Amino acid sequence: MKYGIALGYVSKLNFQETVEGIEYIKENIFSSLKNKFELLNVTSGLITNKYVWLNDDFQQTKRPIDFDVISQNEYGEIIQSNNKWRRHFLKNLDEDNESIKGIITNFTTVNRDSNLDNINSLIFEEIGLEILVNEVDMEFLDNTLIDIYKILCTIDLKISEKYENLNDFHLSKTLTFITYKKLKELYPLLTFSERLNKFGKDNGSFVIQDYAEKILNQKNVGQFSEDVFNLKTYSKLYVYNGECEKSVSVAYAGFQVDRKTLKEQNLILKENSKINNEYNHLIKSNDLPLTISIGVFTNRVSMTILEKQHIGEVHSSIWGNEFIEYCKANNINIL
């Protein structure tokens, strides 16, 4: 499979159908999530500075994208993940806003250090949810992911009815919850990525939990910063993409850190360079609300439901000339 695309692959949808299908999926995911969880639609911030630093460098594996602000004699930085920005936004709510249960954002940014393949590009897009909570409750987190999955299944069914060329179902009827330990016991001789693919192929959609701490510092695996998620609660939703023949993450959920969790995770990750920024001080002084932070990767959902084999078919980015020529020669429309 060159570039992750099978030899002889032909899209079942023409260009117009593809664009309309993407629009339908994204709009319906957003509106369904907003209504289900009764969230306020907010335009996400795009820049921060080093003093407040509402950014996430994923344990210093993402290089900053910064620029000078001439009129203010300081530097701005492009936000590459807006989980901290969303939580900080909710800090500004006052007593008159008690009816607000959380916010939802459409977030797009540049991921300069992305390892480009058929499910990753230089552009990162997600629908982000930040829901206010009173305590860390894993049952609530699990039920939230189940509700999100039901929404995706409903949209999948509607798309299949809309376009007769597509298969009837792209998402399994069941959603399995599994821990890192259990997954390792099932496939002891496989790598982490191989385990995910094997389990997804055998069982359909699943949520992996209690794994973030287990994969810290492993090669070729996304890393976590100490000041964003409570790593013990971080959970990721995978679906098996039959076109790509692998398990693809389409959503995540996790509670954000409180003062106690930040201290515990600092002992492990030792990101001491971050301890003096304003955001960390807000955590330590309990001035940030406790939230569950959620993201839905709409491009990967679109890929799966529209039976696409490359992310370039569902959103616009930049690609190498060799890849572009390959797509032209094989009649694959890249946006």
1 lies in a domain? no
For 76, residues 6+ apart whose C-beta sits below 8 A from its C-beta are 47, 48, 49, 66, 67, 68, 69
Q: Does pLDDT of 221 surpass 60?
A: no
147 lies in a domain? yes
Q: Does pLDDT of 305 surpass 60?
A: yes
Q: Does pLDDT of 242 surpass 90?
A: no
Domain of residue 147 covers 15-43+82-329
178 lies in a domain? yes
pLDDT of residue 220: 58
> ∠ CA 261-33-333 to the nearest 5 degrees?
105
Residue pLDDT, tens place only, 40-75: 999 999 998 878 889 888 877 788 899 988 888 888
Count the domains in the chain. 1
Length of the chain: 335
Q: Does pLDDT of 270 surpass 60?
A: yes
DSSP letter, residue 43: P
Q: Does pLDDT of 298 surpass 70?
A: yes
CATH number assigned to the domain comprising residue 275:
3.30.930.10
Residue pLDDT, tens place only, 171-218: 999 999 999 999 999 999 999 999 999 999 999 999 999 988 888 766
> Which strand (E) or helix (H) includes residue 192?
helix 192-203
Q: Does pLDDT of 153 surpass 90?
A: yes
For range 292-308, the mean pLDDT:
96
Task: Judge whether 316 and 123 are in contact, CB under 8 Å.
Answer: yes
Q: Does pLDDT of 159 surpass 70?
A: yes
pLDDT of residue 60: 77
229 lies in a domain? yes
49 lies in a domain? no
Q: What percent of the chain has pLDDT over 90?
A: 65
Task: Judge whether 33 and 129 are in contact, CB under 8 Å.
Answer: yes
62 lies in a domain? no
DSSP string, 291-305: EEEEEE-HHHHHHHH
Q: Tell the residue number behind the tokens 């907010």, with chain if given.
A: 42
Q: Does pLDDT of 222 surpass 70?
A: no
Q: Does pLDDT of 120 surpass 60?
A: yes
pLDDT of residue 215: 80
> Which strand (E) or helix (H) includes residue 126?
strand 123-132
94 lies in a domain? yes
294 lies in a domain? yes
DSSP letter, residue 215: G
Residue pLDDT, tens place only, 78-98: 999 999 999 999 998 876 677
Burial (CB count within 10 angstroms: exposed 0-12, middle 13-18, buried 19+), residue 276 = exposed
> ∠ CA 214-183-125 to the nearest 5 degrees?
65
